[in-house]
């Protein structure tokens, strides 16, 4: 184990679990070097099924240079229908080649337009739209460009196999292309993208919201300039921090920062000095998914802190100790995907440690930590001490998440270890693996590259 990059430490990822030097290099030299394919659980009827019972047309799209939201908007415009008629299970990045399912209400296959950078394959019809819950996970194929030490991929893989408690689990051998296949495990951190790759601020906004400081949340989002931003943006953020002159700040913030500008408009329209309700209204000017993300990022930061402390205390990730709370495997997961089910929890006391350990060894159970919310129950024993100490340090408790509107969260628990079968090709250095929904490819890649998170894309 060794200290993580300072940018990662700032969002609670304190360590790498591997000691070997990273291979170096960077990701996303080209969109083709970052491929993501959804692993979904969604059944369809034949395309000629009756539209009364099955009004949703389902198709698979392979996108190049398209953000999911932008593609959905382009599709709805071309079809002449409301954007609300287009649905998908997971949002994907623009700078990648992504394959995912979409559904469109009330359309026929012949209606689908030709879109540059999009290959569409009609699958059939369904009685309902695709939803987030239909996504089970994602399969990744990632090329590392310009690695300095590509030979270090193998010792890192061996260390991750040991960390995941997978030495006794059978190696996959070689696949048909000659790639090595090895089961590995990594800490199930929330990746840098959760907090902002260039300006990791969303968790700080969320922490202020949960503490009830609406003004502090707005100023965390508007202010706090970072060196990763253009000088003009840094100057605008510094200005609003120093002056609280909302109208003048609008003249300084560039148009591309539309969420900041939406907040500033709300504040500028206020007569007199804004109070808590106005600052809250400013936050509610941003889209509802971003409002939720603020609080989720605060929960994610606390989670990262908790599992970093578990690492520091040398507690196992692949098996429980007394006091832990485990979840069980989702038996309906697609073949080859290890998918924890956070709705099926069990508290582990001294009597159950051995039996639950056997379940963990067989990939049927997983140790968890909390994403704290109104209904979260904390662990007992040493893990419970860790959870309570982190929450005390952040001045948080479960009841703080009983917030208005989109800011409310009842919380859940999440596996602290993510396991996968890793395929490694060496020329070029390519890593292929599958992860359950909500887990980040970068938490695997960070162990291999050990670089500035910006180079992870």
Q: CA-to-CA distance for 236 and 166, rounded, in angstroms?
A: 51
Evaluated on CA atoms 287, 288, 292, 295, the torsion sign reads: positive
Q: Are 457 and 203 in contact (CB under 8 A)?
A: no
What does the block give as tokens for 304? Answer: 């990262």
266's enclosing H/E stretch is helix 258-268
Strands 34-40 and 97-105: parallel
Q: Label residue 428 exposed, middle or buried (CB < 10 Å: 0-12, 13-18, 19+).
A: middle
Q: CA-to-CA distance for 261 and 266, rounded, in angstroms?
A: 9
Count the helices and strands in the chain (H runs, E runs).
13, 16
Q: Are 181 and 421 in contact (CB under 8 A)?
A: yes
Q: CA-to-CA distance for 125 and 144, rounded, in angstroms?
A: 38
In the residue annotation, 354 being an active-site residue is answered as: no
Q: CA-to-CA distance for 142 and 96, rounded, in angstroms?
A: 10
The one catalytic residue in 67, 93, 341, 452 is 93
Q: CA-to-CA distance for 140 and 300, rounded, in angstroms?
A: 23
3-state secondary structure of 15: strand
**Count of C-beta atoms within a 10 Å radius of residue 188:** 26
Bridge partner residues of 366 (DSSP): 327
Active site residues: 93
């Amino acid at each position: 184990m060794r200290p993580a990059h300072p940018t990662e430490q700032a969002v609670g990822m304190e360590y790498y679990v591997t000691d070997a030097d990273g291979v170096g290099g960077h990701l996303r030299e080209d969109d083709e070097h970052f491929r993501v394919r959804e692993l979904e659980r969604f059944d369809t009827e034949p395309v000629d099924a009756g539209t009364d019972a099955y009004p949703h047309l389902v198709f698979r799209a392979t996108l190049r240079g398209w953000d999911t939201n932008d593609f959905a908007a382009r599709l709805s415009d071309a079809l002449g229908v409301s954007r609300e008629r287009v649905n998908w299970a997971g949002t994907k990045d623009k700078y990648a080649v992504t394959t995912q399912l979409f559904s469109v209400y009330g359309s026929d296959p012949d209606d689908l337009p030709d879109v540059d950078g999009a290959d569409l394959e009609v699958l059939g019809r369904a009685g309902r739209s695709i939803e987030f819950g239909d996504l089970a996970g994602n399969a990744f194929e990632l090329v590392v460009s310009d690695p300095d030490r590509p030979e270090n991929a193998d010792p890192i893989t061996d260390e991750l196999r040991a960390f995941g408690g997978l030495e006794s689990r059978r190696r996959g051998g070689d696949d048909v292309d000659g790639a090595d296949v090895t089961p590995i495990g990594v800490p199930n951190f929330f990746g840098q993208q959760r907090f902002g790759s260039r300006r990791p601020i969303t968790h700080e906004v969320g922490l202020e919201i949960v503490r009830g400081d609406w003004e502090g949340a707005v100023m965390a989002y508007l202010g706090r300039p970072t060196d990763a931003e253009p000088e003009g943006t840094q100057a605008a953020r510094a200005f609003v921090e120093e002056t609280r002159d909302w109208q003048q700040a609008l003249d300084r913030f560039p148009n591309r920062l539309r969420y900041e500008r939406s907040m500033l408009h709300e504040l500028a329209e206020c007569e007199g000095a804004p109070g808590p309700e106005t600052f809250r209204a400013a936050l509610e000017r941003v889209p509802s998914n971003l409002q939720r993300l603020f609080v989720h990022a605060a929960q994610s930061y606390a989670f990262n802190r908790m599992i970093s402390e578990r690492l520091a205390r040398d507690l196992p990730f692949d098996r429980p100790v007394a006091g832990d709370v485990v979840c069980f495997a989702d038996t309906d997961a697609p073949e080859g995907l290890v998918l924890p089910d956070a709705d099926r929890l069990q508290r582990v006391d001294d009597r159950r440690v051995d039996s639950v350990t056997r379940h963990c060894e067989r990939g049927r159970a997983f140790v968890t930590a909390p994403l704290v919310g109104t209904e979260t129950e904390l662990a007992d024993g040493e893990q419970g001490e860790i959870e309570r100490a982190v929450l005390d340090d952040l001045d948080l408790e479960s009841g703080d998440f009983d917030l208005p509107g989109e800011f409310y969260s009842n919380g859940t628990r999440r596996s602290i270890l993510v396991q996968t079968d890793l395929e490694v090709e060496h020329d070029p250095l390519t890593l292929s693996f599958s992860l359950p929904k909500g887990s980040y490819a970068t938490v695997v890649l960070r162990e291999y590259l050990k670089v500035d998170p910006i180079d992870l894309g």
